[in-house]
Amino acid sequence: MAMRRVFLATVLGLAVLVAPMAMKASNSLQAESQSEARRRDVSEHRVYDRDRKDYHDWNENEDRAYRRYWESRHRAYRDYERLNRREQSHYWSWRHSHPDHDRGN
């Protein structure tokens, strides 16, 4: 009977110690899967440039350029979809004057 109590106490003690680590690992995996989903969404999105009347693939490269655009303006980042037409047009004007050197855009 005493061995059974020691065994149960040991198992419960281990469970109390391991549970926080398991929860942290689960949260990390969840954050990674959300990050992966965001990357997939970024790579599958197409955006229309009204001034040039063409489409652009919104991929990781374009996302990086868009973030550089906001850094160059010294303003807080805003999602492209939330910009009005004038602001979107301003971004594409900036983008065409700042091509990627490795792709030649």
Q: What is the pLDDT of residue 10?
A: 86
List the one residue out of 33, 61, 68 whose CA is nearest residue 45: 61
The two structure tokens encoding residue 40: 């997939």
Specify whether the CB–CB gap between 65 and 98 falls below 8 A: yes
Q: The pTM is what? A: 0.55
Residue 12 above 90 pLDDT? no
- For 47-93, what is each residue's pLDDT tens digit? 999 999 999 999 999 999 999 999 999 999 999 999 999 999 999 99
